[in-house]
Structures are given as structure tokens and as C-alpha cells.
Structure 1
Amino acid sequence: MSAKISGEALRIRIFIGEDAHWHHKPLYHAIVVKAREMGMAGATVTRALEGFGATSRIHTINLLDLSDDLPVVVEIVDSKEYIERFLPVLDTMVEGGLITIDPVRIVKYTHSPSPDPHVDESKDLG
């Protein structure tokens, strides 16, 4: 797994269509699974309300023009080493879309501690 990261890192953004697939699975899901398999720090998928890309066709959630192919953005933040190792994998997976890389500064990267199963939080402590 990726070591705890802090300080300077990279953010990769993958802009794809919701209906894009990789081996019969949604492409956004396949990217997240592959990132996890490769030990990356994390990934987030965001579904957009509207957008257009290289074809200039507008994809929208507007009820009068409902699209079944809304824009999706997959974001991954990790060290330069991990991002650079992931790029060739993305190149084979993403046939149409946009991939960008930005420098970022990580201020905090932690997870919430698991709740203690022995503590009953419903008890009144006052």
C-alpha cells in the first residue's frame, strides 16, 4: 500500500462519460478497483450534472433532455511515484476522455479511528 503521504503530491483527474466501459464494467469503477489493486492512497468518483467534451455534445441531467451518459470525474491524489506508475495503466483503459495532472499540497491524510465496539455511545455521560 501507499505509505502515508503528506506535502507535495499529484492529483490526477480522469474525465469520462458515465456509459464508458472496461471489460463489461463501468470504466469509472474499473479505474477505482485498479487504483486500489495498485496500492494507491484513494480515489473519488463524481457524477456531474452537465458537461461536454471533444464531441461538443452537451450531456445534461435536464429532464427535457435527459442524458444516459453524464460526465464522470475520477480523482486520485497520491505521490508522484504512484501517479506516474498508474498513467500507463490508464492509457490502456481510457479510450475517450481527458486526463489531467495537477500538483497539490496534502495538508492532512488520515482516516477516522474505528469506533470502539465496547463503548456504548448511547449512554448519557452528563
Structure 2
Amino acid sequence: MKLSGEAKLLRIFIGESDKWRGRPLYEAIVLEAKARGLAGATVFKGFMGFGAHSRVHTAKILQLSEDLPVMVEIVDTEEKIQAFLPVLDEMVREGLVTLEKVEVIRYQARKGE
């Protein structure tokens, strides 16, 4: 797959304990993005954060949380991202979804892969 120049960056902010059909939501989003042929997705786990409910979730030892913040990033063409948004809308019941323009400098697999 070739991806270069102008693209879109989709960010999904959810909780670690959020579920979709019995599996972690972040995992379900990544697998769905892969199944739909998007260029790539990465999941980041946060150490601390809060969202719409203003509850602080933290990884501090004295305040262990089982629902740490999670961010999923997906980069692809605007057309593919726009086609994925209705699917994402069904999956993400609570969280924040952002979209921004990015410029892809390099997207390349190793030869033979």
C-alpha cells in the first residue's frame, strides 16, 4: 500500500475497560480498522487523564485504576477514514473522537513483507 502526502489522523480517546461485543474496545477498533484495509493503527495507554465525567483515572500506586485512558490513532486517506467513521460511531458509546489533517512523510514496509 502506498500512502504519502496529505492524509487524515483519527484519534479515539476511550477507557481501558470499555468493551465492544465482549472484547476490549481498543482491540476491536484496531481489528476492525485492519479488516477494512486501513493503513495502520496504534494504541497508546495513558498514565493519567480525565474526560467528560471529570473522574481522574491514574496509575499511581495508592490510587490504582482499572480504567486508564487509552488512545487509538489511525492514519489513512480522507476517503478511508470517512468511510470508517460510521463504524466507529456505532462502536464508541462514550469517549472523544478527533480528526485532523496530517502530511505523511514516509509509510513503507520492509522489502519481502
Give the TM-score category using the shorter length.
over 0.9
What is the CA-CA distance between 1:112 and the residue it aligns to?
A: 2.3
Alpha-carbon offset, residue 4 of structure 1:
1.0
> C-alpha deviations, 1:73-116, integer Å up to 9, x for none?
0000000000000000000000000000010000000022359x
Alpha-carbon distance between aligned partners in 2 of 1:61 and 1:42, rounded to the nearest angstrom: 27
Within-5 A mapping of 1:93-108: 93-108=91-106
Cα deviation, 1:36-76, whole Å, max 9, x if unaligned, reads: 00000000000000000000000000001010000000000
Correspondence for 1:44: 42
1:56 match:
54
- Return 5+ residue gaps in structure 1 as ranges: 116-126
In structure 2, the partner of 1:119 is none
Q: What TM-score do the two structures reach when normalised by structure 1?
A: 0.87
- What percentage of residue pairs aligned between the two structures are identical? 53
2:80 maps to 1:82? yes
Q: Distance in 1 between matches of 2:53 and 2:2?
A: 40
Rounded to whole Å, the distance in 2 between the matches of 1:70 and 1:55 is 14
Is the radius of gyration larger for structure 1 or structure 2? 1
**Greater relative contact order (Cα < 8 A, sep 6+):** 2
Give 3-state SS (helix, strand or coil) of 2:27's partner: helix
AA in 2 matched with 1:72: V
Alignment of structure 1 residues 1-126 onto 2, 5 Å: 3-114=1-112
Size of the aligned set, in residue pairs, is 113
Superposed CA RMSD: 1.1
* Residue type at the aligned position of 1:61: A
Amino acid at match of 2:68: L
Instruction: Return the alpha-carbon distance in structure 2 between the equivalents of residues 4 and 51 of structure 1.
Output: 35
Query: 2 CA distance for matches of 1:50 and 1:86?
Result: 28
Structure 2 Cα separation of the partners of residues 110 and 20 of structure 1? 32
TM-score scaled by length of structure 2: 0.97
